[in-house]
Amino acid sequence: MVVAVLAAPYYAHCKRLATVVEDIPRADARWIGSLLGQLSQQQIADAFRAAGYEGDELERYVRAVSARISQLEQL
């Protein structure tokens, strides 16, 4: 029961953060996509490596972020 009580403030915090990405103008999303699109695969991998990721996990994150960047660029 203590865990649920402690998790409630964290859940509320995360719920508020979720609204941050609502109502972003398409032009702004495309703009950030064009900037992020300038990053090389190596630079993206280096960022995750610096955060302590390695191996298959690192590769999955690099692929996922690269795919998201591509989606932003295509808006």
**Tally of domains within the chain:** 1
Range of the domain at 54: 23-75
The whole-model pTM stands at 0.72
Distance in angstroms (rounded) separating the CA atoms of residues 9 and 29: 30
Alpha-carbon distances, residue 50 vs 43, 44, 45, 58, 67 (angstroms): 10, 10, 9, 10, 20
Q: Mean per-residue pLDDT for 56-70?
A: 97
Length of the chain, in residues:
75
Distance in angstroms (rounded) separating the CA atoms of residues 75 and 27: 8
Mean pLDDT of the chain: 89
Residue 33 is assigned to a structural domain of this protein: yes
Residue 5 is assigned to a structural domain of this protein: no
Residue 11 is assigned to a structural domain of this protein: no
Residue 38 is assigned to a structural domain of this protein: yes
Residue 51 is assigned to a structural domain of this protein: yes
- pLDDT band at residue 1 under the 50/70/90 scheme: very low
Distance in angstroms (rounded) separating the CA atoms of residues 34 and 43: 15
| Strand, coil or helix: 24 | coil
